[in-house]
Structure 1
C-alpha cells in the first residue's frame, strides 16, 4: 500500500450503490496450476494475454551469485520457458502487448550504467531500447501498437511522470500529476490514468489524443489524519471505466484500510459502494463476463459483476507462504490467468521461492 500524505476531511457525499441482479452467475473459481521449480529463487511479477492461446509472463530468478530474467509463454494448455531478451541483468517487472507479434517487456540494467530498458518481441526475436538512464521506477505500461507505447515512471525527469514510444524513440510526456501509477487506453485518442499531485492528493487524468488533462473526481470522504490513493484504472469500454484504491490511516501501530471504487459512465465519475471490506484494492482485470476481478489486500480476490461483489480467498499451496501478483483475462473467454510466488516452509534459504501460475475458470 502506498501512503501519499494527508487529505483534508470532506463532507460526506452520496454513495452510488449499484443494484444487485436477481440472477448473477457465480464468478470463476481460482486454483494453482503450476510452479516454476527452477534451481534458486524465482518470482513472477506480471502477465499479459493477447489471444485465446497466447500469453506471456515475466519475472526473475536469483541465487547467491547471479540474477537473471524469466520469460514464460502460454499456448492455451500450459506455461513454457521462453528465450529471454539480452541486455537485462535483473528480473523483468512488466509485460504488455497488442498482438502476438508486438509484446513488450521492461526491466532494469544495473550492473553497468543503470537504466530502464524496453524489449519488443516482434514474433521472432527481441529488440532492445533504452527508455531512460538512471534510477528509474516503472509503475505501469500499456501497449496500443508497435509505434504507440505508454509507461508510467518515477525517473530522472520527476516533473514528467510519463514516457511514450512513437516507433523511433522514447520521450518524456508531462501530465498534471506528480506521479502516475496506472493507465489504460481504449484507443490512441482516449485513455485514463490515476496518480497523485505533489501534495499527495488523488488525481484522475484523461488523454484526448494530444494532451493529458485533469478530470473531476467525486468527493471521497477521508477522516482527519488519513490519506486517499487511487491504485489502478481499467477501461472496459469508452463509457465503462473503473478506478480503485483506498483510504488508509494508522490506529496505534496498525494501518487501517477502506476501499475506494469509482466508475465512469461516459459523462461523470461517481463513487460505488462496496461491502465492509477492510483492505485496499489494486490490480484490476476484466473477468470476461462483463465484470472484473481486483486484488483485495494480500489474501483476497474480489469479483464485481452485475452489481454483486464476491470476495474469495486467494488460492494457496499447502505449507507455503504466497503472493498473488497480476492477473489477466483470456480474450473471448471467462478464463483468467494470474502469476505470483510461493515460499515452502521447509525449503532451504537459497532455493526457497518459486514462481507460481494461477487459473480461474
Structure 2
C-alpha cells in the first residue's frame, strides 16, 4: 500500500480530462461543482496493447486520493481527503468502486472526524482497514465490513504518533509510521494490539504482508533508505545498498524471494531521481530506472512476477506516469493534456487484467481534483478508451 506525507490545506477544484461512464456517484453542490470534462477520444491500439481511461471519484473541493487497494475488478477501495468549506477543515474520505460507480462510505463513531486518510488495505471483502490522522491529534484507524466503517481505539497509540501505511491479511493488520523520530509498527490480531518501536532513526511509509507471516516495511532513515523485515514474528532492520539521500515510499512482495520497494533520491536543487530496490531472497539490490528524474510513490504486483509503479514525471507533468516491470522497467504514459496541469499518481493496485492508479491533478491556478487512471489490455477496452504510450526499451535487470 502506498503512503503519502501530509500536504498543505488547498484551495478549490479543477477540471479533469476524461470521465468513465457511470463513474459519477453523487450530485455536487454548486460551490463544489467540477467542470464537466470532455469524453476521451476513440482508442487506437497502443504499442503494448494497453488502453487507458481517466475518471474522478467526484470528491469535494481540493480532493486527493492517497491510496487504493483492490480485491477484484468490482471491489476496489480508495482513501484520501477533501476540503469541507462549511466546517473549515479537511475531511478523510473512503470510497468504493463496484465496477460501475464510486460511492463514498461513512464512518459511524466519528465524533472528532478523520483528517487525511493516507493508506487502505483489504484483507477480505469484509475486513478493510484505513489509517491516517484525526482532528483530535491522535493517529486515526478505521475498520470496515464492506458497508460501513468504525473508528478503532488503539490504547498503545498516543498524541505525537504518526501512521502512514497499512496492510492486512486475514487475521492480521499492520500499520507503520513513526514515534519520536523512530520507526513505529502497530499490529492487530485476534489477541489484541501490540506496538514496536524501531531502534534506528527514521519513519516508515509502506508495508506489505503475506499470509505465511512474512512482511516488509520501508521508509526514510534520514540519510539512507530504511527497510525492516518481519520474520519469525519479529521485526528487524535489514541492510540496503548505500544510497545517500535515498528514501522509500512503498513496497510490494510476492513470496519470500521476490519484493520491490520504490522511492527516490534527493539531489541538490530539489531534484529527485527514482529509486527501485529489488529483493531476490538474499539481498536488496538497486535496479536501473528508465528516467533520470522522476518521483515514485506506490507499487503493486500481480502475483506472477510483474509489478506496477505509480508516480510523477517532471518532464511530462500533465500525463499519467507509471512504470511496468518484470524482466526490466519501462514507462507507461497516459493521454496528453491540452491544458497546463500536474498529475501525481500516488498509489496503484492490480486486480485481474485491471491496473488502477489514483492521485490528484493540479491546474495552473493551484486547484486540486482527485484523479483515477485505469489501464487494461486492448481486448478489455471500452469505445471511449484512450491509447497508452510506452517510452524506451525495458531496462536491464
Q: Please give the TM-score of this superposition, normalised by the length of structure 1.
A: 0.77
Which residue is 1:165 aligned to? 188
1:109 equivalent to 2:128? Answer: no
C-alpha deviation, 1:125, in angstroms: 3.2
Question: Which segments of structure 1 move beyond 4 Å, counting only runs of 4 or more?
Answer: 157-160, 314-318, 343-346
C-alpha deviation, 1:262, in angstroms: 2.1
**CA deviation profile, 1:228-276 (whole Å, cap 9, x unmatched):** 22332210222111122333220xxx22333332222222323322335
Contact 2:321/2:345 (CA < 8 Å) preserved in 1?
Answer: no
Distance of aligned partners of 1:323 and 1:74 in 2 relative to their CA distance in 1, 3 Å threshold: same
1:191 equivalent to 2:221? Answer: no
Which residue is 2:331 aligned to? 311
Task: Please give the secondary structure, in 2, of the residue aligned with 1:130.
Answer: coil
More strand by share: 1
C-alpha deviation, 1:58, in angstroms: 1.7
Match of 1:56 among 77, 81, 95: 77
Contact 2:118/2:165 (CA < 8 Å) preserved in 1?
Answer: no
Q: Provide the C-alpha distance between the structure 1 equivalents of 2:322 and 2:59, rounded to a whole number of angstroms.
A: 31
Which residue is 2:226 aligned to? 203
C-alpha deviation, 1:294, in angstroms: 1.3
**CA deviation profile, 1:304-331 (whole Å, cap 9, x unmatched):** 334242213355665344332211111x
Which residue is 2:357 aligned to? 338
Distance of aligned partners of 1:165 and 1:315 in 2 relative to their CA distance in 1, 3 Å threshold: farther
Task: Please give the secondary structure, in 2, of the residue aligned with 1:31.
Answer: strand
Matches for 1:230-309 after TM superposition, within 5 Å: 230-250=248-268, 254-286=269-301, 290-298=305-313, 299=317, 301-309=321-329
Any stretches of 5+ residues in structure 1 without a counterpart?
Answer: 3-24
Distance of aligned partners of 1:322 and 1:242 in 2 relative to their CA distance in 1, 3 Å threshold: closer
Contact 1:302/1:312 (CA < 8 Å) preserved in 2?
Answer: yes
Matches for 1:70-81 after TM superposition, within 5 Å: 70-81=93-104
Q: Provide the C-alpha distance between the structure 2 equivalents of 1:188 and 1:239, rounded to a whole number of angstroms.
A: 13
Which residue is 2:239 aligned to? 216
Distance of aligned partners of 1:245 and 1:268 in 2 relative to their CA distance in 1, 3 Å threshold: same
Contact 1:288/1:335 (CA < 8 Å) preserved in 2?
Answer: no
Q: Provide the C-alpha distance between the structure 2 equivalents of 1:58 and 1:276, rounded to a whole number of angstroms.
A: 29
Q: Provide the C-alpha distance between the structure 1 equivalents of 2:257 and 2:128, rounded to a whole number of angstroms.
A: 27
Contact 1:176/1:205 (CA < 8 Å) preserved in 2?
Answer: no
C-alpha deviation, 1:159, in angstroms: 4.2
Q: Provide the C-alpha distance between the structure 1 equivalents of 2:116 and 2:287, rounded to a whole number of angstroms.
A: 37
Q: How many residues align?
A: 319
Distance of aligned partners of 1:259 and 1:138 in 2 relative to their CA distance in 1, 3 Å threshold: same
Distance of aligned partners of 1:168 and 1:60 in 2 relative to their CA distance in 1, 3 Å threshold: farther
Any stretches of 5+ residues in structure 2 without a counterpart?
Answer: 6-46, 377-397
